[in-house]
Amino acid sequence: MPDRDIQLGLIGDNIAASRSPLLHRLVGQQNGLNVAYTRLVPPRLQQGFATVFDGCRNGGFRGINVTYPYKEKVVPMVTVDDPLVRGIGAVNTVIFTADGPKGHNTDYSGFVAAYRLVRRDAPAGAVCMIGTGGVGRAVAFGLVALGAPEIRLVDRDMAKAETLASDLRTAAPDTIITTHDSAALAGAEWAFDAVYTPADTQFLQDAAAQGLAVISGYELFIYQGVHAWALFSGNLPLNEPALRAKAFDRGERKFDLMQQLGTDLVLVCSTCHPASLGGIDPLYPRRQDIFRATGRCPADRNGPALLVAPLSQYAGRRRPARHRFHARRHRHGV
């Protein structure tokens, strides 16, 4: 691959806490590549999903990841060659090719890999699955691939559960598929939570306390990212142990930071706002509330690094008109 620069992105809502940008930058560094991975939130851009998607397709992006709530919306916009992914009806990875955008689902393959990492060859058994949206659909088809003899689908939106049930029955007629609006987990042997921020959720802690084998959503995150990278890069190698260690450590520190500061953060520049970001302004009475973050102000690449501060403390501070584009708001999400 002669091109050493790769432009990637993630389209979704509530993606401030996503570790996908970190994962892909790290694996790019392992291969001597400069990976730019941009978070794209349609409501914040004041654009519809289709407009943002077209901007990526026509803007030099190698590919994108797609997350909630767009995994199903993107399907009609791409060509899906894999019949299994067509059955899932959700796409989380898109590659822009000369023949048009191609859709893939690495949530599916990532879940299967995560299960086998923890459970090896142990049978899945009858499974109760709560949530039948985009990632839920991928996990359900993964359970079929793992040989689960029965899948009980639980969702407050029964129509969504019934739609998935119908698709599963078509793909796996020998699997017992039922739908429910509530769940009972008595007698369970293992538990999985698709949430990976934090990696050890309260649900998994409770499951482990009851003696269940637990599969963290972090494993799904790692494997879906590894499989997506293979698609983005054309199967360039990666060092998985090193990737795991760095992605987890940096990701957990970022999550802890967001928890300390609250759900709203803002990136502002100490060149454009030296008084407010010097650590002595009355707006920032506590120095521990100002944290250094990687990155430079795009208006002054040689200037001080960007700083992260609570949006509540920054509210009302007028930004110079020519620099407004580089102060951005983040909503904590998964």
CB of 314 closer than 8 Å to CB of 289: no
| Side chain identity at residue 13, one-letter code | D
| Residues designated catalytic | 71
* Number of other CB atoms surrounding residue 169 within 10 Å: 13
Alpha-carbon gap, residue 132 to 153, rounded angstroms: 7
| DSSP labels, 114-153 | HHHHHHTT----SEEEE--SHHHHHHHHHHHHTT-SEEEE
Contact assessment for residue 153 and residue 129, using Cβ atoms and an 8 Å cutoff = yes
**d(C-alpha 272, C-alpha 103), whole Å:** 41
Q: Tell me the H-state helices in the chain.
A: 20-30, 42-45, 49-57, 83-88, 106-119, 134-145, 158-171, 202-209, 217-233, 240-261, 311-314
Burial (CB count <10 Å: 0-12, 13-18, 19+), residue 237: exposed
User: Residue 161, SS3?
Assistant: helix
Q: Which stretches of 238-318 are DSSP H helices?
A: 240-261, 311-314
